Amino acid sequence: MNDLNVEVTLSDMLDAREKRVTVQREIIERYKGTLISFMLNIPGNIKVFPLSLKAHGEAVKLITKALNRQGISVIYQASDSAKTGCESFFVVKEQPIIVKRLMTDIENSCELGRIFDIDVIDCEGNKISRSDLNITERSCLICDDIGHACSRSRKHPIEELQKKVIEIMENYFAEQFVDNCAACAVRSLLYEVCITPKPGLVDRNNNGSHRDMDIYTFIDSTTALIPYFRDIVLSGIKFRNEKPKAVFEKIRYLGMLAEDCMFTATNNINTHKGLIFSLGIICASAGYLYKNEEAVNTDNILKISREMTLEIDDDFNGITKESARTFGEKLYAAYGITGIRGEAASGFASVKNHGLPMLKSLIEKGYSLNHAGALTLLNLIANVKDTNIIARSSIETLKEVQLLTNNLINERGIENISIDEIMDIDNHFIGKNLSPGGCADLLSVTLMLYFLEN
Ligand SMILES: [Zn+2]
C-alpha cells in the first residue's frame, strides 16, 4: 500500500479534515440516516502502518458486531485509506442518540477503544457529543485529566503519546493471541479425554486401566491449568529476545507451579504432567513466534520447540545401567528410549510424522473428530515406544501390543478400522492393565497444533 509509513504534514491533516466533512455531508444527503464516521487517534506524523491498519480493522469489526447485536440495519458502509489515516463510514437507520450511546460503549469497553474516534452525526449534519448523553469526557491516555484539555495544551510530548498508543494496540492483540492459544490448549486436553474409545485410557466409555481417575479428574486438572497456559504463552512473548534454549530455562519454574496446581486439583493424581511439559513448550513457542512477528504455524512451532529443548536429552549422556536412577534414565540405559524429553528435542517428530498428517487426512475425508482422533491414537501406539506402557508392564509387552496394532492397521487399512474394533483393543488393553499415556499426550499435542492451524 502506498500510504504505508508515509509522513504527513499539518496541512495534509487539515486538508483531510476538510475532505472528510465534505464526504460526510455527501453521504448524509444521499442516504438520509444517522452517520457513524470512524478514525483512530494516532499521534505523530505517521498514521498508516501495519499495526494501525490491524487496529482499524478490529474497530470496524467491533462496530459491525455491536450494530448487528442491536438489530440496527446498516444501509451504507465504506472505508477509505489515505496517508492521513483510514476512515470508515456507516449509515444506519436508528436514532442518533441511541447510536452514540452504543459507540461510546465500544470506546469504553476495552483499552483499544481508548484510541477510537467514533463520531455520530445526525441527518441534519450535527455531531452528537458525549455531553448530549451526560457521559463524562474521555480521559487522557497518559494522565487522569480530560483528554481534550491535555491535547489542547500539549501537556504530553508526542513521543510519549505515540509510545502509549503503540503499547495499547500491541497489548490488545497480544492478549487476544494469548487467550486464543490458551483456549486451544484447554480444548486439546478436553478433546483428548473425550475421544472414545481409547485403548486402556480414560474416555467417555470407561476409565481404561485406571482405578484412581475418571473423566472428571481430567476436567478438574484441565481447568486448573488455564492460568498456566496463559502465563506460558506470555512468557514466550516476554522473552522474545532470548535464544529459545534460554526461554525454556525460564519457563521451567512455571511448569513446576503448574504441576502443583494439577496435583491440588486432582488429589495428587498425575493426569497431565507430560502435557504440562509438552503443551507448555508448544505454547511458549507460539508466543515467541508471535512476538517476533514470525508465522505461528506448525513447522515454526516445532522448530522453536526443538531449539528450546535440543539439549535436554543431553541429560541422558553418560548414563549407564548402574548409574540410572529414575525410570526414564533406566529406560534410556536399557533400551535407548528417551521418552517425552527426546520427543520434544526431536521437534515432536512422532506428532509430525504419525499424528498430525493422519488426523488431518482423516478429517479431510469426512471422519468425525472423535473417530479421526481415535484412529490417530492407534497410529501413534503402533509407531511410538510408549514409556507408560513399559512402566505398567515390560518392553516385551510393548512390542507385543505394537505388533498387534501394526498388524491390524496393515491388514485392515487404518481408515477401515471401526469404533467397535477399537473397543475390542480397549478391552484387550484393560485386560492386560496397559495405558498408553505417552501416546495420549502426543494426541493432545496433535490436537493442539490442529486447533492452532484452524
Ligand atoms: Zn494528560
Give me the CATH number covering residue 48.
3.30.70.260
User: Per residue in 127-178, pLDDT tens?
Assistant: 999 999 988 889 999 998 998 899 899 999 999 999 999 999 999 999 999 9
Long-range contacts from 182-186, C-beta under 8 angstroms, 24+ separation? 182/226, 182/229, 182/230, 182/233, 182/283, 184/448, 184/451, 184/452, 185/225, 185/229, 185/279, 185/282, 185/283, 185/448, 186/222, 186/223, 186/225, 186/226, 186/229
State in Å: Cα 407 to ligand 1 middle. 72
Give the structural domain span for 78.
10-156
User: What mean pLDDT is reported for the chain?
Assistant: 94
State in Å: Cα 137 to ligand 1 middle. 13
State in Å: Cα 154 to ligand 1 middle. 9
Q: Give the rounded percent of residues in the chain with a pLDDT score beyond 70.
A: 99
Pairwise pLDDT comparison (314 vs 397), residue with the higher score: 397
* Count: domains in the chain: 2
State in Å: Cα 131 to ligand 1 middle. 20
State in Å: Cα 115 to ligand 1 middle. 14
Domain boundary, last residue among 156, 191, 225? 156
**Which residue in 158, 159, 117 sits closest to 138, CA to CA?**
117
188 assigned to some structural domain: yes
Q: Are residues 239 and 381 in the same domain?
A: yes
pTM of the model: 0.90
User: Per residue in 204-238, pLDDT tens?
Assistant: 999 999 999 999 999 999 999 999 999 999 999 99
221 assigned to some structural domain: yes
Alpha carbons 333 and 316: distance in angstroms, whole number: 8
1 assigned to some structural domain: no
Pairwise pLDDT comparison (199 vs 340), residue with the higher score: 199
CB-based contact 203:194 (threshold 8 Å): yes
State in Å: Cα 85 to ligand 1 middle. 23
State in Å: Cα 391 to ligand 1 middle. 63
Residues with CB under 5 Å of ion ligand 1 are: 140, 142-143, 145, 150
State in Å: Cα 139 to ligand 1 middle. 8
Residue 391: pLDDT band (50, 70, 90) is: confident
User: Per residue in 173-193, pLDDT tens?
Assistant: 999 999 999 999 999 999 999
Q: Are residues 210 and 343 in the same domain?
A: yes
**Which residue in 341, 323, 347, 325 sits closest to 387, CA to CA?**
341
- For the chain, how long is the longest CA-to-CA vector? 89
State in Å: Cα 104 to ligand 1 middle. 20
**What per-residue confidence (pLDDT) applies to 338?**
80
Beta bridge partners of 85: 82
**What per-residue confidence (pLDDT) applies to 341?**
86
State in Å: Cα 144 to ligand 1 middle. 6
State in Å: Cα 153 to ligand 1 middle. 9
Is 70 exceeded by the pLDDT of residue 1?
no
Alpha carbons 176 and 333: distance in angstroms, whole number: 45
Q: Comparing 239-253, 308-322, 406-420, which segment has the lowest mean pLDDT? A: 308-322
| Residue 204: HSE in the Cβ half-sphere, 13 Å Cα cutoff | 9
* Cell representation of residue 30: 444521499
Q: Are residues 212 and 152 in the same domain?
A: no
CB-based contact 96:120 (threshold 8 Å): yes
